[in-house]
Amino acid sequence: MSDIGELAHKKCRPCEGVMPPLSSSEVAILMEQLEGWEFLEKMIRKDFQFKNYYQTTAFVNAVAWISHREDHHPDLTVGYNHCTVEYTTHAIGGLSENDFICAAKVDTLFKI
CATH classification at residue 68: 3.30.1360.20
* Burial tier of 65 (Cβ tally within 10 Å: 0-12, 13-18, 19+): exposed
| Structural domain contains residue 9 | no
Q: How confident is the model at residue 1 (pLDDT cuts 50, 70, 90)?
A: very low
Mean pLDDT lowest for which of 9-13, 15-19, 51-55, 107-111?
15-19
| pTM of this structure | 0.89
Percent of the chain with pLDDT over 70: 93
d(CA 60, CA 82): 10
| Structural domain contains residue 29 | no
- Report which residue type is found at 84: T
d(CA 107, CA 35): 8
| Structural domain contains residue 74 | yes
| Structural domain contains residue 48 | yes
Q: What is the pLDDT of residue 2?
A: 45
| Structural domain contains residue 51 | yes
Q: Which domain holds residue 71?
A: 38-112
| Structural domain contains residue 30 | no
DSSP-assigned letters across all residues of 22-75? PPHHHHHHHHTTSSS-EEETTEEEEEEE-SSHHHHHHHHHHHHHHHHHHT---E
| Structural domain contains residue 24 | no
The total of structural domains in the chain comes to 1
